[in-house]
Homo-oligomer: A and B are copies of this chain.
Amino acid sequence: MAMNAVARLDAEPPAHPIAHIVEAGLSAVEARMQDACKSDVSILNDASHHILSAGGKRVRPRLVLLSYLACGGAAVDSVISLAAALELVHTASVVHDDINDHGVVRRGKPSVNAIWGRTFALLTGDFLFTKVYELMAPHHDMNVILAEATVALVEGETLQAQAVKEQRFTRQVYMDIIARKTASLFSAGGLMGARAANANDRVAEALGRYGFNIGLAFQIVDDILDLTADEAQLGKTAGLDLKQGRGIGSINSGAAPDPVTLIKAKALNSNSVAEGKLQAKMLIDSAIGELDVLSDSPAKDELVALARYIVERDH
Contact = CB atoms under 8 A, between A and B. Distances in A.
B155 A96 contact: no
A228 interface: no
A192 to B, nearest CB: 13
A123 B137 CA distance: 23
A134 B155 contact: no
B127 A158 contact: yes
Given A44-B158, A155-B39, A158-B44, A129 B130 contact: yes
Interface in A151-175: 151, 153-155, 157-159, 161-162
A154 B136 CA distance: 17
Interface stretch (A7-15, A51-59, A138-146, A212-220): A138-146
A44 B154 CA distance: 9
A61 interface: no
A96 B126 contact: yes
Contact of A151 (B43, B118, B134): B134
Contacts of A126: 96, 125-126, 129, 154, 157
B133 A143 contact: yes
A155 B122 contact: no
A99 B122 CA distance: 9
A148 interface: yes
B154 A144 contact: no
Contact of A137 (B118, B131, B144, B158): B144
Interface string A109-139: 0000000001110110111011111101110
